[in-house]
Structure 1
Amino acid sequence: MDEESADRGKGGLRRFLRRMASSRAELEAEELQKSSGDEGATPITECAERTRHRVAGTLRTVTLRPRGGAPALEAELYDGTDVISLVWLGRRKITGIDPGRMLRAEGLVSTQDGRKVMFNPRYELRGGS
């Protein structure tokens, strides 16, 4: 076996051992980060306030939370790096917006109570769920 083959074998063994030692959550986060990058999305941790960004990930939760007496559908999007709340004002339900669903969203990022939020984002449902 030549040196290059030996190095590839060591790398494969390292990857295998790392995957075996990693938790399921770590592996899912790694996979989400890779797929989000493939979508042309900005990692949520790198999203600056008052700037338009495209993010992609999986919806963790979807809840109805009234804001100022009006309905608001709020979804928590996770991309493997961080979480952002997507809020659609005046909506009670949006078909396809369900926990576990993958989507890509684009909009202006703001911060509320220390959390990143995107109000009325444009979105595209992706495969899954």
Structure 2
Amino acid sequence: MPTSPIVPEGCISAMTAGGYLKRLTRRLTEDIDQLDAEDISQQSQQAGAQRACDCSAGDEVTMQGELRSVQTCSKAMKTGIVAEFFDGTDVVTLKFIGRNRIPGIEPGRTLTVRGRIGEHDGNKVMFNPYYELLGES
């Protein structure tokens, strides 16, 4: 009967080292944007939030992610602030109607949003979502 090799305490077995090297190589060679998306998605799932890629128009959802961009629109467009929200799986456009500025709503900020998903020009959108700012940017 074959026995498993005994590895002295404090030493790394070849199998463990191989797994470590494989993960390290992946982290060093994979696209940074892909790694960021995976990290954001993993944090979102750990928080119990829904994934944007699984949501469709009409769904009431709670999502966690990061603001990629924030723009203030003119009064002629009758929109206030438009933000691109990314949870690691898909992008949702957040529209805050009638607002010129919202403290804390800025690119790179992590937040939890809750509201109903809509669709505009084939893109997912959420109007005036409830939001909670998380951590510091």
TM-score by length of 2: 0.84
Name 1:96's counterpart in structure 2. Answer: 104
Which 4+ runs in 1 deviate beyond 6 A? none
Aligned to 2:16: 8
Instruction: Output the CA distance in 2 between the equivalents of 1:69 and 1:116.
Output: 19
Give the conservation status (yes or no) of the 8 Å contact 2:67–2:85: yes
> C-alpha offsets along residues 60-97 of structure 1, whole Å, 9 cap, x if unaligned?
11112247753421111111111101111111111100
Amino acid at match of 2:119: T
Supply the RMSD in Å over aligned alpha carbons.
2.1
Whole-angstrom CA distance in 2 between matches of 1:2 and 1:110: 58
Q: Partner residue of 1:26? A: 34
SS of equivalent residue, structure 1 residue 50: coil
Structure 1 runs not aligned, ≥5 long:
none
Q: Give the one of 36, 41, 44 matched to 2:52.
A: 44
Secondary structure, aligned partner of 2:117: strand
Note if contact 1:75-1:85 (Cα within 8 Å) is conserved in structure 2. Answer: yes
CA-CA distance at 1:6 after TM superposition: 3.8
State the aligned residue count.
129
Q: Whole-Å Cα distance in 1 between the matches of residues 6 and 27 of structure 2? A: 26
Pair 1:110 & 2:113 matched: no
**Which deviations, in whole Å up to 9, do the C-alpha atoms of 1:97-119 show, x marking residues without a partner?**
01111101010001100110011
Which structure: greater strand fraction?
1
TM-score, normalised with respect to structure 1: 0.89
